[in-house]
Amino acid sequence: MKDYPQFISPEISGLPNEGKITCTAPSNIALVKYWGKKPVQLPENASISFTLDTCKTITSLSYKKRNIASKDFDFDLLFEGKPKSDFKPKIQSFFERIEEYLPFLKQYTFTIETSNTFPHSSGIASSASGMSALAYCLMQLEKKINQDISDAELLKKTSFLARLGSGSACRSLEGPITVWGSHPDIEGSSDAFAIKFPHTIHHNFKNYQDTILLIDKGEKQVSSTVGHDLMHGHPFAQERFKQAADNLTTLKDVLISGDLDTFIEVVESEALTLHAMMMTSLPYFILMKPNTLSVINKVWEYRKKTGSKLCFTLDAGANVHLLYPDSEKEEVLDFITSELVAYCQNGQYICDKIGLGAELL
Ligand code: DP6
């Protein structure tokens, strides 16, 4: 018995001969973090994220039907116009994982062309936007074959496939806020795919800003995949998974009520807990840099002095995401340029905000 029979494509006939599909999918930033997973790519706890707007991957999938199906997947990969062989193994294993759900994959020769709107090696995770963009293109091809699939089913299966590429990628298809992982207080939530936050979001979060300070653009010493793995047998794992579930319950109410003080408390605590899990793993590791801590202290000082609702979050790296209401945009940008840019590598930062998810171009 297959794990998710509802996502297996029906028997297919009439495969299109050739064509090209182009789409774009954004990155996302988790408010309650996914850290720890079970096979295959199922989260230990539910997570919730803001979908971003500016940080995106643009992917084209050119497909050409083969006369006979190939034994292995037949694809070329171009990143910013040039062949990129070190990305191929990740796509190869993605194809292996999703083949049972997209049985036509070996019938085609594919060329995947991809590029990001954010600077290469900025330390911004491109796996979320990259895997969701590729899953989106593949599902647009499936739609040409399986025309009966409804828009809702299409979206669900796209998220399901993206998850098999990279867990957090399943949260990049819709916006402005998505939840991945089964949670008793979020109706329709599932470990297998992400859903759009199913409640009206308070206007305080409209156009919520995310300015990403690029603290360290170097290659991380420990990948997310290894970090997730270290949650197996981690002494605080069970407490952490429970805490994440409780934080999601709190955040659900906050997103509806607009209570920004509680938002700040949950979001910053989640960021620090994520890094605390890394520091208490065996082997232990630290992804923050001295400038990450300097920025955090500056944010706290600024908030104390001004009463601002600016807060920070972190992903699995040294960069700092600064989250703040649209109404504070001018003041916070002044603060960033006068006091925080000095902590950024080459003075680089990216202004992003909450966005709506993947789209066909
Ligand atoms: C810290 O989704 O990158 O950003 O499933 O192994 O590809 P894999 O990991 P990934 O992990 C992201 C972890 C995080 C928190 C989050 O986005 O929820």
Strand pairing report for 359-360 and 18-32: antiparallel
Residue 308 CB less than 6 A away from ligand 1: no
Number of Cβ atoms within 10 Å of the Cβ of 303: 14
pLDDT band per the 50, 70, 90 thresholds, residue 264? very high
Residue 167 CB less than 6 A away from ligand 1: yes
By alpha-carbon position, which residue is closest to atom 6 of ligand 1?
Answer: 225
Query: Is-contact 165 176, C-beta < 8 A?
Result: no
Q: How far apart are CA 166 and CA 104, in angstroms?
A: 21
Residue 27 CB less than 6 A away from ligand 1: no
Query: Is-contact 204 256, C-beta < 8 A?
Result: no
pLDDT in tens, 225-244: 999 999 999 999 999 999 99
| pLDDT value of position 336 | 98
Alpha helices by DSSP H, the chain: 88-98, 127-145, 151-165, 224-229, 237-257, 260-279, 290-306, 329-335
Residue 315 CB less than 6 A away from ligand 1: yes
| pLDDT value of position 40 | 92
| pLDDT value of position 123 | 65
Q: pLDDT at residue 146 above 50?
A: yes
Half-sphere exposure of 33 (CA within 13 A, CB side): 23
pLDDT band per the 50, 70, 90 thresholds, residue 1? very low
* Cα–Cα separations (whole angstroms), residue 167 to 163, 221, 238: 4, 20, 20
* 167 CA → ligand 1 middle, Å: 6
Task: State both tokens at 336.
Answer: 């960033």
Q: At 72, which amino acid appears?
A: D
Find the mean pLDDT for residues 285-298: 97
Query: Is-contact 34 43, C-beta < 8 A?
Result: yes
Residue 127 CB less than 6 A away from ligand 1: yes
**Mean pLDDT for the chain overall:** 95
- The Cα angle at residue 160 between residues 230 and 246, in degrees rounded to 5: 55
Residue 94 CB less than 6 A away from ligand 1: no
- For the CA atoms of the chain, what is the radius of gyration? 20
Residue 178 CB less than 6 A away from ligand 1: no
* Cα–Cα separations (whole angstroms), residue 264 to 125, 217, 251: 23, 26, 10
Q: At 217, which amino acid appears?
A: K
How many helices, marked H, and strands, marked E, lie in the chain?
8, 14
| % of the chain beyond a pLDDT of 90 | 88
Q: Which atom of ligand 1 is nearest to the CA of 165?
A: 7
* Cα–Cα separations (whole angstroms), residue 331 to 81, 188, 301, 307, 311: 39, 39, 15, 12, 14
Backbone angles phi, psi at 354, to 5 degrees: -60, 135
Cis peptide before 283 (omega within 30 of 0): yes
Find the mean pLDDT for residues 37-44: 96
pLDDT band per the 50, 70, 90 thresholds, residue 122? low
* 146 CA → ligand 1 middle, Å: 31
* 34 CA → ligand 1 middle, Å: 6
pLDDT band per the 50, 70, 90 thresholds, residue 14? confident
Q: How far apart are CA 82 and CA 85, in angstroms?
A: 10
Beta bridge partners of 98: none
Residue 30 CB less than 6 A away from ligand 1: yes
Residues 6+ apart with CB under 8 A from 332: 209, 211, 308, 310, 322, 324
Find the mean pLDDT for residues 112-141: 89
pLDDT in tens, 27-38: 999 999 999 999
